[in-house]
Amino acid sequence: MNVFSKQTLLSGLTDRTVIITSNTHPFFRLSETQLKFKASPEIWSIAEIFEHLNISNTKCIHAILERVKTVPDITSDRYQSSWLGDWVYEKLMPKADGSVFKVSSPKFLHPPGCGDAYKVLQQFMETQNETHDVLLHAATKDVNGIRVPFYLTKTLKFRLGDTLRFLIAHNERHLLQAQRMMNTVLQIQNG
């Protein structure tokens, strides 16, 4: 279990959200065909990766907002992660070399196949803005005491601070996946 200053935790997560948003902009320069390119049937395209993020981010943000809106503000600046929260975070967080612990997404989080790839990217940018707003709102809440149902199963609840860490780490891991796919697409295109 790690002990953080709530302000340091939220500031770091906000900075990482800004980086994720910034690193998403290059995908808008790709064509619709490039965004939907699949190296094989079982590998998600760039558009499908972002569609998956849209589905999971929406579920996670909704679960957070349901809890955060109903609790009073507090001034406590202490946050202590749970051992289970640290374990899940370690599994989600990309390693320094860009490698990730392989985790299969449940079927309900699989992208159904996108129509307009640019709309999918724009929706992701909107969820990044929502994430930023949630992080600002969380600054006045008890990130230690508020329990948020884990969007993969309603029976498991995590501290708000852990849930926010998961949200950002999940975005980072899939952004790396999308960047690898973009490199593949550009290598194929350039021969």
| 30/117 Cα distance (integer angstroms) | 10
Per-chain mean pLDDT for the chain: 88
The verdict on residue 78 lying in a domain is: yes
pLDDT digits (tens, 9 = 90+) for 33-48: 999 999 888 889 999 9
Three-state DSSP state, 13 = helix
Read off the pLDDT of each residue in 82-110 and give the average, rounded to a whole number.
Answer: 75
Q: Assess contact for 125 and 27: CB atoms under 8 A.
A: no
pLDDT grade, residue 110 (50/70/90)?
low
pLDDT grade, residue 29 (50/70/90)?
very high
The verdict on residue 66 lying in a domain is: yes
The verdict on residue 167 lying in a domain is: yes
SS3 per-residue string spanning 51-75: HHHHHHHHHHHHHHHHHHCCCCCCC
| 189/155 Cα distance (integer angstroms) | 46
In angstroms and rounded to an integer, the radius of gyration of the C-alpha atoms of the chain is 17
Most confident of 14-18, 62-66, 154-158: 14-18
| 71/155 Cα distance (integer angstroms) | 20
Q: Assess contact for 88 and 179: CB atoms under 8 A.
A: no
Read off the pLDDT of each residue in 4-17 and give the average, rounded to a whole number.
Answer: 93
The predicted pLDDT at position 168 comes to: 96
C-alpha neighbours within 13 Å on the C-beta side of residue 130: 17
Residue 84 class from Cβ within 10 Å (0-12 exposed, 13-18 middle, 19+ buried)? middle
| 67/180 Cα distance (integer angstroms) | 35
- For residues 93 and 17, the model is more confident at 17
Give whole-number Cα distances, 21 to 28, 83, 165, in Å.
12, 29, 16
The tally of domains found in the chain comes to: 1
The verdict on residue 36 lying in a domain is: no
pLDDT digits (tens, 9 = 90+) for 155-177: 889 999 999 999 999 999 999 99
Range of the domain at 58: 3-24+43-189
The verdict on residue 162 lying in a domain is: yes
The verdict on residue 136 lying in a domain is: yes
The predicted pLDDT at position 109 comes to: 63
The predicted pLDDT at position 54 comes to: 95
Is residue 124 over pLDDT 90? yes
- For residues 190 and 58, the model is more confident at 58
pTM confidence score: 0.90
The verdict on residue 20 lying in a domain is: yes
Is residue 66 over pLDDT 80? yes
The verdict on residue 38 lying in a domain is: no
C-alpha neighbours within 13 Å on the C-beta side of residue 58: 13
Of 139, 137, 127, nearest to 168 by C-alpha is: 127
